[in-house]
Chains A and B, each alone.
Chain A
Amino acid sequence: MRFMRSSPLLTAAGPVLFGGAFLAPLIAQSLEAASIPAPFGLEPLVFGLAVGISLGFVAALRGRWV
């Protein structure tokens, strides 16, 4: 069997999905656990989604998280 490389679109979508699906609730729940209000009066989850998806998008562009 020949090894199939994943498509560039899937590779790029992965970090954005991870940012929105995992990092966003993680950021939101971390803020709530530390009793830190989200900036600009945002709901923690909205803030988490904004940060998580942005981080994922930047990671997708760079090809790496760190």
Chain B
Amino acid sequence: MSAVAPIEPTPGRSERELKREEAAIARKYMGRVPWEMVAWGLGNFVLWLSIWPLTFAGILPLWAAFVLSTVSITLCYLPSHEAQHSIIATEGSPLRWLNELVGHVSTIPLLLPYRIAWITHKQHHANANDPELDPDHANQGDTWWQAAWNGIQARQFGAGHGYKNALARSDDPNLGKALREGTILSLSYYAILVTLAWSGHAIEAALIWWLPRHIAMTYIQVFLSWAPHHPMEETGRYRDTRAWRSPVGTILSLGMEYHIVHHLFPRIPLFQTGPAYHEMRALLDERGCRNDRPD
């Protein structure tokens, strides 16, 4: 890892002016309620719940339930991510309850409690690419498949993984509540799996929740942690994240091609990071940001 020297402002424009221009562009994309993320988060959760009765009633074949559930669980993190950053509604605003509802509900299938996600995600933003302090750094790898394997290894129960360490370091006032919620969610998950298994539905439990969750976790780690920060060697506001062109496109890479905008201005909604990137592209280049996009 190499720390990068601060970017020198170009002649004629001061650091302050560059920051002001960046912020002026960013402000245009902040402030609205991203209703599409609210619908995505809550709708996706209802869709995932509906897979269970539809499968048990014989309406949905098990193979289709497996595919749908894998897609649904893969999609469940991003709405919670918007809520973690209070993008849906800030603290004290009338729609704050909706922000918290989306945050708590959307990641239940992924078994990632909202408060734990936020406590650890804050540390990722503050320490991106730091091998010791960035909880997502375990996903480093030269290739996506190495990153996927490293991510799987880091999730093993005996691994001293980044999330566990990040929680151990945290002095967040909500840590106790977050850990209690995590314990309840995990115990509920295992209780449901075991109950289903011993009542003759082990294959359904495995193919609707257990296996899809593992596949989704790996997919999310590759596209949200590894790809936008690859090769995870530099730190600093303008160098720890990149703009990149995904070989599988923007949708399949979960909108992460413009992740640099998110790290610079975390309150910009996901759907606005693309337009914001294109508008501030020249400024980012002037800053010496990491840009691996050909356009």
Residues of A within 8 A of B (CB): 1, 3-5, 11, 14-15, 18, 21-22, 25-26, 28-30, 33, 59, 62-66
Contacts and interface: CB of A to CB of B under 8 A. Distances in A.
* Binding site secondary structure of chain B: helix
B226 to A, nearest CB: 18
A14 B157 contact: yes
A11 B157 contact: yes
B179 to A, nearest CB: 7
Interface residues of B, number: 24
B108 interface: no
A44 to B, nearest CB: 11
B49 interface: no
Determine which residue in A14, A64, A66 has the highest number of CB atoms from chain B within 10 A of its CB, and name it. A64
Contact of B157 (A3, A15, A21, A22): A15
A66 B170 contact: no
A38 B200 CA distance: 17
B194 A63 contact: no
Contacts of A64: 153, 156-159
Contacts of B168: 3, 5
A22 B197 contact: yes
